[in-house]
């Protein structure tokens, strides 16, 4: 087995406040996904490893949607924007996962990085108890809830990415 590409992730603060700590872990997990997908071409990003149909490209597109949906739509009340606004969600609830097979590596990385940067710029970290603009399951969620949900989502998929990357080229490590 080979080591993964150089690990340049930033460790979360060990004695930060609540917002800095949670955002630090979220950014660490975002950087983990970037690390696990670094250097892969379009064919590698669309390759599944049975019995799972999950791909690293689908994961990048899914995480771009997660950022857009939870921060932009749920928290801030914005309408969906491209490509999410025209996605055929009724025909394919997992559209982002499946349609990534048609996207090239640069487009997937750009979509994901843009979504992450927009979330970083838009998250109102000055008040973690601030409630969302949109109800989710009949309740307004807090900024804290959205941040912790993003950490959970990235944590789960970073683990998947670790396994998928190893199956692709034998790379292991953080």
Give me the mean pLDDT over the 69-90 stretch: 96
- pLDDT score, position 13: 86
Across the chain, mean pLDDT equals 93
Q: Is the pLDDT of residue 74 over 70?
A: yes
Provide the residue ranges of all domains of the chain, joining segments of one domain with +: 2-172
CATH topology of domain 2-172: 1.20.120
pLDDT at 16 over 80: yes
Q: How far is CA 17 from CA 20, 21, 23, in A?
A: 5, 6, 10
Show the tokens assigned to 98.
């499946």
pTM for the model? 0.93
User: Helices 56-67 and 18-37 sit at what angle, rounded to 10 degrees?
Assistant: 150
22 pLDDT band, cuts 50/70/90, is very high
- Rounded CA gap, 96 and 48, in Å? 15
Q: How far is CA 104 from CA 43, 53, 80, 127, in A?
A: 8, 18, 22, 38
Residue-wise pLDDT for 119-157, tens only, equals 999 999 999 999 999 998 999 999 999 999 999 999 999
């Amino acid at each position: 087995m080979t080591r993964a590409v150089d690990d340049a992730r930033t460790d979360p603060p060990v004695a930060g406040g609540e917002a800095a700590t949670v955002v630090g872990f979220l950014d660490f997990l975002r950087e983990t996904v970037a690390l696990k997908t670094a250097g892969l071409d379009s064919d590698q990003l669309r390759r599944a490893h049975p019995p799972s149909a999950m791909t690293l490209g689908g994961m990048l597109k899914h995480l771009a949607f997660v950022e857009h949906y939870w921060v932009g739509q749920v928290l801030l009340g914005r309408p969906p924007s491209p490509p999410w606004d025209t996605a055929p969600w009724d025909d394919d609830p997992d559209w982002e996962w499946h349609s990534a097979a048609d996207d090239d590596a640069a487009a997937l990385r750009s979509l994901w990085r843009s979504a992450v940067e927009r979330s970083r710029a838009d998250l109102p970290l000055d008040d973690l108890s601030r409630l969302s603009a949109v109800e989710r399951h009949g309740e307004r969620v807090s900024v804290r809830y959205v941040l912790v949900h993003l950490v959970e989502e990235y944590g789960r998929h970073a683990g998947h990415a670790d396994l998928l990357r190893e199956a692709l080229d034998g790379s292991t490590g953080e």
